Amino acid sequence: MKKNITSFILGIAVITSGFSQTRYVDEVFGSVDVTTDVVYGQNFSVLAGTPIPTGMAGTPIPALAFDFYEPTGDTETERPLIIHLHTGTFAPIVHNGNPTGMRQDFATNAFCDAYAKRGYVVANLEYRLGWNPNLPTEPERAAELMKAVYRAIQDTKAAVRFFRKDYETNGNTYGIDTSRIILSGQGSGGWVALGYATVDKLAEIQLPKFLDGSGVPLIDTAVLGDWNGVGGSPTLNMPNSPGYSNDVHMVCSMGGGLGDLSWLEAGDVPMAAVHGPLDAVAIYTTGNVSAGGVNVTTDISGAHDVVKKANMLGNNDAILEHYDPYTVAAKTASNALVAANATDWGGTAITESVNNVFPYITGNPGEGSPWDYWDSTFLVTQVAPAVGLTAAEGQAAHASGLMTNPNMSYGKALAYIDSTVNYFCPRIVNATMLPGNTMDLIDINSTVKVSVFPNPSNGNLVFSSNSGNIESIKFHNAVGQLTKAFNPNTKVFNIEDVSLPTGIYLVEIICDGNSIVQKIVVE
């Protein structure tokens, strides 16, 4: 099944390559400039061992850095900022038993490059790593994992504040639009992004499952600081760029999970996701999280349940209506899971197709990151020694990666990266009201409504007005050319075969003197 899905994804790119180019949706720049190792703060690390973290006992406090991607030759001075968070299960590459886990990963760089070529600026962010999945009890393991996610959220908020501080005090060195900041996260980075957008109350990190056997919170804000990175022990937490806003405006999750579904509330930012239904780490619906076969914590929610709730709460109203080929592919995949009575990795039945989620059906048990690619020789001979491990340990990490991604390849990775970016970008445009958004295509304040069914369509279309007669219907293709026109002068108009090539059309409808524009997909 994976081969067919990948072929379809690649086919989408071919079919749409002739469309007109729109900034923030399509690649409008041929190259990208990258500034490496920009320091946005510093904070104590646990990687040197416990109980003494680095930064104590005279050791230097580690710097936190990002690589900055921007389109070559761009003349815009205020651009939407994507902060991209790499994967790695909150431990250094190879040490985590995986062939990925740093901001220099192939996929991480490819995502950042793809967004920058579409006109965004991107911060490829480093955040603190370190936790112990081998502690003897579940509460201990859960505490360690929670602290790792917590530190990463603190660091990401520090980065957001860094950019706002630069905007206000340094003349906007990086040319960003502070009203349009998007979080994008792969794997564990997706966990960070979802947690960032939802955790804002002490009670949320003191739910019963986040207490130890004696009722003591696993996260002690008096020690670690709050979720904004402020407070705590001055020997364990260092605030960075305090006094500036932490606000972001959208989250794009790739295989991420949410610590508890109750964290998600009305008014939280829009969320979209891609996720493997058989992801063994972040469950597609809701279930337990394990590492190395050892249970870590319970009732973690993945893309299906998180985005379903975000849709239900109205948080995603701005990104619900999309009819592009990638959305069609996502809905097709979701419907296929439901029709097949599929279950996720935890055995939960997938009974509902959820908008704003693209399930990547690869056919590989446990696979959560089909966009990953790594050079096994480089991993074994260069990366493993660089992180203080042996070639044999590098080879073991390579073998571990192949267990869930056995057909890993450069071409496969690029196909899924392309589909992910093309799925997210129209939603980013609408969520942040960038030029080219489709939210203003329909006059939502008008009492005149015209429904179009079905959409997508195989050529048969029914137009129905809730008011007066539909006076005219004009189909325009992706480059704005008029391709079909009708003058029905009736409240209900049926087109048995529109006889148009497969593609996306903007349809202008005149009804009662009102102009309404809708996107229609012809399959």
Which pLDDT value is given to residue 403? 96
Task: Answer whether 0.85 is exceeded by the pTM.
Answer: no
- At 207-253, the pLDDT tens digits run 988 888 788 888 999 999 999 999 999 888 999 999 999 999 999 99
DSSP-derived 3-state class of residue 157: helix
State the pLDDT at residue 226. 95
The neighbour count for residue 133, using CB atoms within 10 Å, is 20
Among residues 194, 190, 284, 209, the alpha carbon closest in space to that of 248 is found at 194
For the ranges 284-293, 334-343, 432-441, the maximum mean pLDDT occurs at: 334-343
Q: Which pLDDT value is given to residue 480?
A: 62
At residue 293 the predicted structure's pLDDT band, cuts being 50, 70 and 90, is low
How confident is the model over 366-378, as a mean pLDDT? Answer: 97
Mean pLDDT over residues 477-504, rounded? Answer: 84
Mean pLDDT to the nearest integer, 91-102:
94
pLDDT at 321 exceeding the cut of 50 = yes
- The region of weakest confidence among 196-205, 223-232, 311-320, 322-331 is 322-331
Specify the pLDDT at position 218. 85
Task: Say which CATH architecture domain 450-522 belongs to.
Answer: Sandwich (2.60)
The domain ranges of the chain are: 10-431, 450-522
Higher pLDDT, 25 or 137: 25
Cα 324 from Cα 317, distance rounded (Å): 17
Average pLDDT over residues 124-152: 85
* High-pLDDT (> 90) share of the chain, %: 66
First-to-last alpha carbon distance for the chain, in angstroms, is 21
Give the separation between CA 377 and CA 312, rounded to whole angstroms. Answer: 47
Q: Report DSSP state, residue 36.
A: E
Closest among 158, 165, 163 to 237, alpha carbons compared: 158
Q: What is the pLDDT of residue 18?
A: 39
Confidence band of 312 (pLDDT split at 50, 70, 90): very high
Averaged over 80-84, what is the pLDDT?
Answer: 98
The answer on pLDDT for 35 being more than 60 is yes
Q: Name the least confident of 3-17, 38-52, 509-523.
A: 3-17
Lowest-confidence segment of 180-184, 285-289, 349-353, 444-448 by average pLDDT: 444-448
Give the angle subtended at the CA of 338 by the CAs of 332 and 343, to the nearest 5°: 120
Return the pLDDT at 172.
98
Whether the CB-CB separation of 366 and 351 falls below 8 Å is answered with no
- Tens of pLDDT along 334-358? 999 999 999 999 999 999 999 999 9
